[in-house]
């Protein structure tokens, strides 16, 4: 079982913070396949948070295939998905290395590279200027 | 989220003498939502809540609660909703047990087991007089009465304003647990925004007796942006987006906008804004002065 926490100053929506904490816990092995997540009511009680926010987070996790909601029983960590093929990862990495090299050549410093990358992977990148 | 509306008002207004306490209020509160009703003191929050429960007759417009008219259908509607007035008024001379007994006799639907269980969970002695309880405990007793009616709609008027931070947290926690259990609709009026962001999923701002910003909090936060750039006129931005607030220094212009889709103008740097800042911008925004009238569609269904 994991215990959720919320950082109200992070600017990350509450539902996404819950999603990220579950993802991270699965990655670190704190949550294993078959483990049950806290019930919506338990999360509501510990965090004083809107139940719809918790439902939203759990739906998102279900959609990503990380968990499995069983009606009337609870939400459980799903069997792990097949890993992404190593060749795909290698090829992605090569592309990224090339991009970083280009950025360095252009005189972009590390902080700016990190900022650009962080912005590019944000799910809601609507705010980017076209 | 259900598409059904628990509350629907259309051009609703209430006038006391020559003063409008609420004016031209058109909104929808979705069933199952926890909606914050935010505005400065005197903006019309309490007036709106009173019209929803049929305390007072609208001077203009229409109001529908759970599909019924609060005044004409009072006998059917009132058992289905609970209202906790500001400062949670209770009979101070009664014990908790007598307070529950009175509520049981006065309310056609009443879950006695649930009421007793809540008092026990709160660690309160049923024989204690209400006047001997702390503010937080009185609020919890008032909430117990409201919840034990098993309402479909719970209206709370400034429920936490008089409570200390711990009591606020406990009170709101109790409300949310009940929401998780029953899927009831909740409306919480308040002038404190920061606290409500976690608790509520919808928000309505009332300023100068009018509803301005109304909608899902996620959508509100996602659609507002702070734009900063070299000093310039807001007019080109205002053609596409709604400018809520603008300020200028000698060389820089800062705009808070409700973006209509993407902002494609590369001379502006864009920042995200949190809910509190958005709401404050609306509260400081005077309708009728300029762009507001053109943006009348802002009084939109939630």
Taking an 8 Å cut-off on Cβ atoms, the answer to whether A49 and B169 are in contact is: no
Q: What is the DSSP string of B262-279?
A: ----TTSEEEE--HHHHH
Residues paired with residue B16 on neighbouring β-strands, in sequence order: B19
Q: Is B171 on the interface with A (CB under 8 A)?
A: no
Which residue in chain A has the smallest CA separation from B200?
A50
Among candidates B180, B201, B274 on the partner chain, residue whose Cβ is nearest the Cβ of A40: B180
The three-state secondary structure class of A127 is coil
Distance CA A19, CA A11 (A): 15
Q: Is B122 on the interface with A (CB under 8 A)?
A: no
b/e string for B113-127 if b means 16 or more Cβ within 10 A?
A: ebbeebbeebebeee
Taking an 8 Å cut-off on Cβ atoms, the answer to whether B180 and A51 are in contact is: yes
Distance CA A65, CA B183 (A): 26
Q: Which residues contact B121 (CB under 8 A, 6 or more apart)?
A: none
Look at the domain A14-77 and name its fold: Arc Repressor Mutant, subunit A (1.10.10)
Q: What is the pLDDT of residues A9-36, one digit of tens each?
A: 777 888 999 999 999 998 888 899 999 9
Chain B residues close to A51, C-beta within 8 Å? 176, 179-180
Please give the angle made by the CA atoms of B207, B211 and B212, to the nearest 5 degrees: 80
Structure tokens given for B282 = 């609306």
Q: Max alpha carbon distance in chain A (Å)?
A: 57
End-to-end CA distance of chain B: 11
Chain A residues close to B184, C-beta within 8 Å? none
Which domains, ranges and CATH numbers included, belong to chain B?
5-207 (3.40.50.300), 221-294 (no CATH)
Chain B: closest CA distance from residue A94 (Å): 31
Chain A residues close to B201, C-beta within 8 Å? 50, 52-53
The three-state secondary structure class of B131 is helix
Query: Which residue shows structure tokens 């053609």?
Result: B239
Distance CA B89, CA B139 (A): 9
Predicted TM-score (pTM) of this structure: 0.79
What are the start-end ranges of the H helices in chain B?
A: 45-52, 74-77, 96-106, 112-121, 135-148, 165-182, 196-199, 217-223, 235-240, 275-283, 291-294
Chain B residues close to A18, C-beta within 8 Å? none
Structure tokens given for B115 = 């009421």
pLDDT tens digit at each of 302 positions of chain B: 445 899 999 999 999 999 999 999 999 999 999 999 998 888 899 999 999 999 989 999 999 999 999 999 999 999 999 999 988 889 999 999 999 999 999 998 899 999 999 999 899 999 999 999 999 999 999 999 999 999 999 999 999 888 888 888 889 999 999 999 898 999 999 887 877 888 999 999 998 888 888 899 989 988 999 999 888 888 888 888 889 988 888 888 889 999 887 777 778 888 888 888 899 888 875 444 444 433 333 444 44
Which ipTM score applies to this complex? 0.72
Chain B residues close to A75, C-beta within 8 Å? none
């Amino acid at each position: 079982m994991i215990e959720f926490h919320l950082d109200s100053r992070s600017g990350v929506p509450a539902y996404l913070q819950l999603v990220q904490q579950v993802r991270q816990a699965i990655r670190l092995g704190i949550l294993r396949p078959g483990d049950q997540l806290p019930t919506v009511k338990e999360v509501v009680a510990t965090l004083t948070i809107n139940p719809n926010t918790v439902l939203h987070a759990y739906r998102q996790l279900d959609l990503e295939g990380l968990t499995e909601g069983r009606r009337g029983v609870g939400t459980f960590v799903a069997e792990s998905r097949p890993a992404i093929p190593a060749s795909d990862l290698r090829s992605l990495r090569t592309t990224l290395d090339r991009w970083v090299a280009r950025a360095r050549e252009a005189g972009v410093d590390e902080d700016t590279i990190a900022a650009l990358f962080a912005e590019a992977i944000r799910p809601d990148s609507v705010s980017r200027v076209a | 989220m259900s598409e059904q509306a628990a509350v629907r008002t259309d051009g609703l207004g209430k006038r006391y003498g020559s003063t409008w306490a609420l004016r031209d209020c058109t909104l929808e509160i979705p069933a199952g939502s926890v909606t914050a009703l935010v505005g400065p003191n005197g903006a019309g929050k309490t007036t709106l809540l009173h019209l929803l429960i049929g305390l007072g007759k609208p001077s203009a417009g229409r109001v529908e609660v759970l599909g019924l008219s609060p005044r004409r259908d009072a006998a059917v509607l009132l058992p289905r909703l609970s209202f906790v007035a500001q400062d949670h008024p209770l009979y101070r001379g009664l014990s908790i047990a007598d307070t529950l007994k009175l509520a049981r006799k006065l309310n056609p639907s009443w879950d006695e087991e649930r009421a007793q269980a809540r008092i026990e969970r709160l660690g309160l002695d049923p024989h204690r007089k209400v006047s001997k309880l702390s503010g937080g405990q009185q609020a919890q007793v008032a909430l117990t009465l409201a919840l034990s009616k098993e309402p479909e709609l719970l209206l709370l008027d400034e429920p936490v304003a008089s409570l200390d931070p711990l009591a606020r947290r406990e009170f709101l926690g109790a409300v949310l647990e009940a929401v998780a259990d029953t899927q009831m609709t909740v409306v919480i009026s308040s002038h404190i925004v920061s606290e409500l962001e976690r608790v509520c999923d919808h928000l309505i701002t009332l300023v100068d007796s009018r509803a301005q910003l109304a909608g899902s909090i996620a959508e509100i936060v996602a659609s507002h942006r702070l734009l900063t750039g070299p000093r310039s006129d807001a007019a080109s931005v205002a053609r596409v987006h709604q400018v809520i607030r603008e300020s200028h220094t000698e060389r820089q212009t800062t705009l808070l906008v409700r973006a209509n889709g993407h902002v494609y103008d590369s001379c502006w740097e864009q920042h995200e804004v949190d809910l509190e800042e958005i709401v404050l911008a609306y509260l400081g925004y005077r309708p009728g002065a300029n762009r507001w009238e053109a943006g009348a569609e802002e009084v939109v269904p939630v």
